[in-house]
Amino acid sequence: MGHFDEQEFRTTIGHFATGVVIATGCLEGEPSGFTAQSFSSLSLDPPLVALCPAKASTSWPKLRESGHFCINILGEDQQSVCDIFAQTGIDKFTEIGWQPGETGSPVLAGVLAYIDCELALEHDAGDHIIAIGRVKDLAVLDANRGPLMFFRGGYGRLGKF
């Protein structure tokens, strides 16, 4: 690395506030998902998004194999959902309701919005993967709450950090 260490890099990047999403998928009838902050819109024409799962993720390979993923945008009151999906080795879907989206990927109950995608491309990116999704369906489900935000290593609401 340059003239900085990993902690300095993490601390500096932590000053960029992000929303929090849950990426979900369904492989052979079994739902899977994980918490992510590395997500962004990429293109309007065609409609594309980018998701950056860690290579160490145990959930991403299932989403990759399914060929689809759904981005569930969390509301400011959904940190508990975020915490569940940040864990490994548990059944994350027993504690939250969901329904299959257009691609079959889970749309979680209570989210602000969702973006259901077909996996279009993957690129190697250090210890992460850049996954490009072609948007197949999307909707705003609740326009009255604010987003769950991540900033300086913690969760909060807009104006509440």
Q: What are phi and psi of 86, to 5 degrees?
A: -85, -10
Tell me if 151 sits within 8 A of 37, measured CB to CB. no
Range 17-152 classified under CATH 3.30.360.10: no
Which residues lie below 8 Å from residue 58, measured CB to CB, with a gap of 6+? Answer: 88, 89
- Better-scored residue on pLDDT, 68 or 15: 68
pLDDT of 40 > 90? The answer is yes
Give me the half-sphere count of Cα atoms (radius 13 Å) on the Cβ side of residue 31.
25
- State yes or no: pLDDT of 161 exceeds 50: no
Output the pTM of the full model.
0.93
Q: Is the peptide bond before 46 cis (omega within 30 degrees of 0)?
A: yes
pLDDT, tens digit (0-9, with 9 covering 90-100), for 112-139? 999 999 999 999 999 999 999 999 999 9
Q: What's the pLDDT score for residue 102? A: 97
Domain ranges of the chain: 17-152
User: Which H helix or E strand runs over 33?
Assistant: strand 30-36
